[in-house]
Amino acid sequence: MLLEISCASDFLCRYVASSSACTPQIIQAFKEQISALMQAKYTNHWDPQRPHIGNGYRAITSFGGKVDPLLCEAAQKSELPLQTLEGHIPRDLVLWVEPFSVSFRVGDHGSINTIYDSTRGKVSMKPDVP
């Protein structure tokens, strides 16, 4: 879970890091807050045996100008101005954080892009060989 959270928080921080209003200290604090909040939220909603169960609960979104409450809380705790967050996170962003995978989509009809994917834990069916 920690690797997936780290990949997701790095991805999100890249958006706000482009703001001239953000110091490296604020970005680092924002990353730490995102990571801590995600870890707390996902603790009882993380099953590597069934990675897609709970993916809606774990998703981080930005729809119609409303940024995910988890990101707003992380911004507040790290002293990142909410206006900066809202101005740099893409509209209609969905970030899926799942066991062994982190992916995102921007826009209703956008393609799904993979940030992190591990084959560890995935089952592949092999035919019986005589």
Each domain of the chain, given as residue ranges in start order, spans: 2-117
Of the pLDDT bands very low, low, confident and very high (cuts 50, 70, 90), residue 34 is very high
pLDDT greater than 60 at residue 128: no
Contacts of 115 (CB under 8 A, 6+ apart): 7, 8, 11, 102, 103, 104
- Residues 98/52, Cβ–Cβ less than 8 Å: yes
Between residues 103 and 127, which one has the greater pLDDT?
103
**Dihedral angle of Cα 95, 112, 1, 53, to the nearest 10 degrees:** 90
- Alpha carbons within 13 angstroms on the beta-carbon side of residue 95 total 24
DSSP H stretches of helix in 1-130: 2-17, 24-42, 55-58, 69-78, 82-88
Q: Span 2-117: which CATH code?
A: 3.90.640.90
Residue 126 pLDDT: 41
The tens digit of pLDDT for each residue in 41-52 reads 999 999 888 888
Residue 10 pLDDT: 96
Q: Please state the rounded mean pLDDT for residues 73-95.
A: 94
Residue 81 pLDDT: 93
The tens digit of pLDDT for each residue in 51-82 reads 888 889 999 999 987 999 999 999 999 999 99
Q: Please state the rounded mean pLDDT for residues 74-93.
A: 94
Q: What's the pTM?
A: 0.86
Of the pLDDT bands very low, low, confident and very high (cuts 50, 70, 90), residue 3 is very high
Residue 22 pLDDT: 87
Contacts of 38 (CB under 8 A, 6+ apart): 5, 8, 9, 60, 70, 97
Between residues 53 and 32, which one has the greater pLDDT?
32
